[in-house]
Amino acid sequence: MRRVILHVDQNCYFASVEMISHPEYRNVPMAVVGDKEKRHGIVLAKNQLASKAGVKTAEVIWQARSKCPDLVLAVPHYDKYEFYSRKLRELYQEYTDKVEPFGLDECWLDLTDVIGDRDPGEVADEIRSRVRTEFKLTCSVGVSFNKIFAKLGSDYKKPDATTVITEENFKDIVWPLPCSDLLFVGRSTKERLAKVNIKTIGDLANCDRAFLSEYLGKHGVELWIYANGLDDSEVKDSDYRRSVKSVGNSSTTVTDMTSEREISSTYLTLSSSVAGRLRRAGLTGNVIQISVRDRDLVVSEKQKILPDHTDNAGVIHKAAMELFNGFYDWHLPVRSIGVRMTGLIPKGSPSQISLFENMEETGKNEKLDKAIDSIKERYGKKSLVFLGEIGGEDSVDISGRSFDTEIKR
Ligand SMILES: [Mg+2]
């Protein structure tokens, strides 16, 4: 049966939520900023008038003000963003159990089993109109037969619009668009594709799959599949995410590790891989476990509970090192180490609110994590090597190590 998938994306989410309680913000350029008092606070979100004036997310206040002197600044209310995010998910769940959040303001909905005779575009319009009247928020909805095109559809026309991409019309709608409109095509992939004259999604779809495989590896094949409308990944509902119990990764080194720096470097690689898989599954965990196997193959395990749920590589790495330094006495060199996250809950769950209180800091980490993800997606897991000091005599090369990854369900 042909699948019916919606991707709902709230427009200017943080700014729109602020405008619910402050209608006066609707008629002026407005930005939600972290740390308004400091000139160096950053723009977290902005309304459409501010966008028109050239204000960009993540720029510092004085930069934004230099382009838009009348910019009105609002402080963020993460509890509200979380509240509406949950309410919106409840609304979507009236239509289907299969709702997969992607960040706070986006969700995929799989309507395949529940759509019956209804027209999918009409259901999308109904959801938009309910979001507008029940929440005073606007969203764009993409409707398609796979997640990738649904996501692209919600981006295609906004604000407050529905775009339906079918098997019949996708070549007309999707193929003329630049490759970078496709989920998971970052700037560097875009540039590499441009070098071989692949500029549009159609170019990508019509080029030789074997060539892309050779040129960009597994990621190239994935993009070819996406461009041809062949993505068959499932909408991962909360049941699926509840069934994942832990995400872990371990590494055995060719030569035993003898310094804290080597351990730290390996844990950073492992933490980044675990964090990446948590993010892809839409999960966060608050229990970290590490395992350490010494040269005599004796295994020790330690664990602790973190103050907040996280999917952040830096946070996981720091906790892993604290655990390691708290017990390992270096009686022997270390053969292998592992890190595992449990206590998993879907990202954006209520217990994450305290995390948002540190959003500015977290925002930066998340950007770094996303950059790491996209590099690894493009060049493979071992592409990124963390070095304490690049070129320093203690710098560690991970290329000779084997990685065992697993997701336990
Ligand atoms: Mg959005």
How far the first Cα of the chain sits from its last, in Å, is: 27
Task: State the burial class of residue 269 (Cβ atoms within 10 Å of its Cβ: 0-12, 13-18, 19+).
Answer: buried
Ligand 1 center from residue 12 Cα (angstroms): 6
State the distance from the centre of ligand 1 to the C-alpha of 205, rounded, in angstroms.
27
Please report, for the domain that includes residue 308, its CATH number: 3.30.1490.100
Q: Which residues contact 185 (CB under 8 A, 6 or more apart)?
A: 179, 193, 223
In a domain, 233, yes or no: no
Integer Cα distance of 277 and 16 in angstroms: 30
User: Do 161 and 79 have their domain in common?
Assistant: yes
314 within a domain of the structure (yes/no): yes
CA 317 to chain centre: 19
Distance 13 CA to ligand 1 centre (A): 6
| HSE-up (13 A, CA, CB side) for residue 331 | 9
Tell me: do 189 and 158 sit in the same domain: no
Residues 199 and 299 in one domain: no
Ligand 1 mean position to 228 CA, how many Å? Answer: 25
Domain extent, residue 185, equals 175-227
The answer on 86 and 19 residing in a single domain is yes
Same domain, 383 and 259: yes
Q: Give the alpha-carbon dihedral of 134, 135, 138, 140, to 10 degrees.
A: -70
Distance CA 229, CA 164 (A): 14
Cα(46)–Cα(59) distance, integer angstroms: 11
Q: Is the torsion defined by CA of 205, 211, 217, 218 positive or negative?
A: positive
pLDDT at 40: 65
Q: What is the pLDDT, as a whole number, of residue 82?
A: 84
Q: Quick one: which of 71, 41, 37, 128 has its CA closest to 364?
A: 41
The per-residue pLDDT for 351 is 44
- Please, are residues 101 and 347 in contact by the beta-carbon 8 Å criterion? yes
**Which segments of the chain have a pLDDT < 70?**
1, 35-40, 238-242, 348-409
Calculate how far, in angstroms, residue 51's C-alpha sits from the geometric centre of ligand 1. Answer: 14
Sheet holding 43-46, edge to edge: 43-46, 30-33, 72-74
- Say how many domains are in the chain: 3
For tokens 């928020």, name the residue: 137
Rounded distance between C-alpha atoms, residue 211 and residue 198, angstroms: 12
CB 151 within 8 A of CB 109: no
Identify the sign of the CA torsion 342, 346, 348, 351: negative
Amino acid sitting at position 191:
E
Question: Considering 115, 136, 167, which residue would you say is the last residue of a domain?
Answer: 167
**Domain CATH for 212:** 1.10.150.20
Q: How far is the CA of 8 from the centre of ligand 1 (A)?
A: 8
For the question of residue 106 being annotated catalytic, the response is yes
Which of the following is catalytic: 18, 82, 100, 106? 106
Q: Are residues 187 and 257 in the same domain?
A: no
Residues 103 and 219 placed together within one structural domain of the fold: no
Given a contact cutoff of 8 angstroms between Cβ atoms, the answer to whether 32 and 46 are in contact is yes
Does 257 lie in the same domain as 350?
Answer: yes
Q: Are residues 316 and 366 in the same domain?
A: yes
C-alpha 10 to ligand 1 mean position (Å): 4
**CA–CA separation, 140 and 155 (whole Å):** 7
> What's the confidence (pLDDT) of residue 155?
95
> What is the predicted pLDDT for the residue at 241?
66
- The reply to whether 317 falls in a domain is yes
How many angstroms separate the alpha carbon of residue 154 from the centre of ligand 1?
9
pLDDT for position 187:
81
In-domain check, residue 232: no
pLDDT of residue 182: 92
